[in-house]
Amino acid sequence: MATTKFLLPPGLDGERRIEIVRERMMRTRRRDLDASGWVLDVYPDERGWVDQPGNTDPQRCVYYGIIWRRRRKTA
């Protein structure tokens, strides 16, 4: 199992964040892998939060894209 976690740029709406995760999943797509991706929001004082320059969100929330992959089971 492999997990990729990356910080998403500040100031994007929810649809654009999902689109970025999908684009990145497609770039690493292989036939022998199962993959899923999602967006994780992290608020101040939570594990993984960073002070992101240019973040204008009043709650200072940051967003990560996460892609999880594993080899497909063969019968």
DSSP assignment of 10-54: TT--HHHHHHHHHHHHHHT--TTEEEEEEEEEE-TTSTT----TT
- pTM, full prediction: 0.82
pLDDT tens string 6-58: 999 998 999 999 999 999 988 877 777 888 999 999 999 999 999 999 998 88
What pLDDT score was predicted for residue 62? 96
Q: How confident is the model at residue 5 (pLDDT cuts 50, 70, 90)?
A: very high
The whole-number pLDDT of residue 1 equals: 67
Confidence of residue 75 (pLDDT cuts 50, 70, 90): low
Instruction: Give residue limits of the domains in the chain.
Output: 2-71
